[in-house]
Amino acid sequence: MLNFILLQAAKGAAAPAGDAGASAMGGGMGSLIMIVALIAIFYFFMIRPQNKKQKEIRKFRDAMAKGDKVTTAGGIHGTIKEVRDNGTIILEIADGVKITIDKAMVYPSAQDVVATGADVKR
């Protein structure tokens, strides 16, 4: 494989500076443009929307208050009874049944998103 590459390089160096050199440069430039375009497509269709969604969820978690209806990462629906300073919340999942969970594992309830028209999606 290395011999083939070296032969191609020697052939390109020995060729006159006419069409062969120009076509090789044009092909390389076209490939570079395609790679840049592909990176831009990935950024605008995958990375940017994900960052926007994470920012909205972070904003929701910072604004959580007593009485908000939420859904945990495990799918448990409940109402916030207390937000603690150590990064946990007390969630009431049934009458008299309270659990302590990490704030990072909470998402807005689907009913609240529909009712408020919020733009947070899961």
Evaluate if residue 4 carries a pLDDT over 60. yes
| Structural domain contains residue 5 | no
| pTM assigned to the model | 0.55
Range of the domain at 62: 22-122
CATH number of the domain to which 37 belongs: 2.30.30.140
pLDDT per residue over 61-79, tens digit each?
A: 888 899 999 999 999 999 9
| Structural domain contains residue 112 | yes
| Structural domain contains residue 60 | yes
CB neighbour list of residue 73: distance below 8 Å, 6 or more residues apart: 105, 106, 107
